[in-house]
């Protein structure tokens, strides 16, 4: 399978922007996580995965990047331009996280926020293949009272 890299909205052709009326959120923007309130009014389609072209840093604040063979799992949303602008502000696009239109496992396309993963990141935190699912926020949310896991 060949992947077409479309880049950020600033350098994306108009047709590609239309292809990306959806976003795949995989971290703190997912339902139940601390930043979901920013896009709670988006239309939720449920779980989805990218095509196997990525890797995920599974840390307190996750980061996805090109260069692996993992499918990033997240929540697929249909979003408005206003919701996209809110997400861009949160993610610091294009200076911190970079938004790209990427292929999903089902052949459709969605916006995904990417951030370079440092070579010094602990190897046990980087998911390079298989299904890459962020657990950082959920792990903290499920900690019982008293602070023990």
Q: Count H helices, E strands: the chain?
A: 3, 9
91 is catalytic: yes
Residue 87 token pair: 């997400």
Residue 65 token pair: 């990047």
CA nearest 62: which of 113, 124, 18?
113
Of residues 33, 73, 75, 91, which has the active-site annotation? 91
Which residue, chain included where needed, has tokens 């930043």? 35
Range 13-18, long-range pairs (CB < 8 A, 24+ positions): 16/101, 16/109, 17/101
**Element housing 136 (H / E):** helix 136-141
| Count of all residues that appear for the chain in the document | 149
Catalytic residues: 91
């Amino acid at each position: 399978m060949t992947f077409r890299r479309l880049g950020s909205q600033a350098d994306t052709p108009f047709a590609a922007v239309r292809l990306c009326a959806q976003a795949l959120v995989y971290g703190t923007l997912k339902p139940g996580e601390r930043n979901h309130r920013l896009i709670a009014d988006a239309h939720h389609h449920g779980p989805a995965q990218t095509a196997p072209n990525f890797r995920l840093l599974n840390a307190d604040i996750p980061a996805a990047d090109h260069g692996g063979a993992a499918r990033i799992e997240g929540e697929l949303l249909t979003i408005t331009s206003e919701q996209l602008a809110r997400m861009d502000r949160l993610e610091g696009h294009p200076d911190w996280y970079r938004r790209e239109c990427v292929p999903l496992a089902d052949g459709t396309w969605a916006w995904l926020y990417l951030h370079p993963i440092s070579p010094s990141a602990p190897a046990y935190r980087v998911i390079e293949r298989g299904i890459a699912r962020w657990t950082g926020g959920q792990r903290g949310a499920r900690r019982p009272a008293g602070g023990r896991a």
